[in-house]
Amino acid sequence: MKPWCQLAVIAAVSVAAALGTFWLKGPPSRLFRCDPASLKPDDVCLATIPADADVLWVDARSRADWMKNGVPGSLLWNLDETEDMQAFEAEIAVRAAATPRVIVYCGDENCGVSRQIAGRIRALDLGAQVSVLRGGWRALNEAGRTRKPPAK
């Protein structure tokens, strides 16, 4: 058999295998999946935080995103240059005094800002337990725990 025919056979077998997998197992899940084995020491999976847990959520995204669809009752703390860092510090100090379990989230697992914010909250040494939510806002949104954006 000529190489191009062999190539066509390989391609056909691969396509058949892919279609078979799709037919048997369905389309790939696009939902965020938190793997506890891959968590860093200060990471948490949303599944371990009950919806009614006494948690102070800190949104590390932009102010516009936080206002649009942040977690109800959450605080904003991001690293935008237009924001007042000392106002963020003061607000977290007041709220963490009443709710010493703080979880920071940003857009998704790739954004990286939430870990920096968690570090800044820890540096305040308020005595709060500070964690980073793996999967960020995406995980919260998929679990239906975010504020619904206002209807247009």
The contact set with another protein (CB under 8 A) reads 3-4, 6-7, 10-11, 44-45, 48-49, 53-54, 62, 78-86, 89-90, 93-94, 97, 100-101, 107-108, 110-113, 116, 120, 123-129, 131, 138
In angstroms, what is the minimal distance from the CB of 80 to another protein? 5
In angstroms, what is the minimal distance from the CB of 79 to another protein? 6
Q: Of the two residues 69 and 116, which places its CB atom closer to another protein in the complex?
A: 116
In angstroms, what is the minimal distance from the CB of 125 to another protein? 5
CB neighbours (10 Å) of residue 67?
13
CA dihedral 102→70→79→91, nearest 10 degrees, is -50
Secondary structure (3-state) at 97: helix
Cβ contact 60:133 at 8 Å: no
In angstroms, what is the minimal distance from the CB of 101 to another protein? 4
Q: Of the two residues 29 and 82, which places its CB atom closer to another protein in the complex?
A: 82
What is the C-alpha to C-alpha distance for residues 11 and 9, in angstroms, rounded to an integer? 5
Q: Of the two residues 24 and 117, which places its CB atom closer to another protein in the complex?
A: 117
Please, what sign has the CA dihedral across residues 50, 55, 61, 64?
A: positive
Closest CA to 59 of 100, 107, 122: 107
Q: Of the two residues 99 and 151, which places its CB atom closer to another protein in the complex?
A: 99
List b or e across 10-25, with b for residues whose CB sees 16 or more CB atoms inside 10 angstroms: eeeeeeeeeeeeeeee
In angstroms, what is the minimal distance from the CB of 126 to another protein? 6
Q: Of the two residues 108 and 145, which places its CB atom closer to another protein in the complex?
A: 108
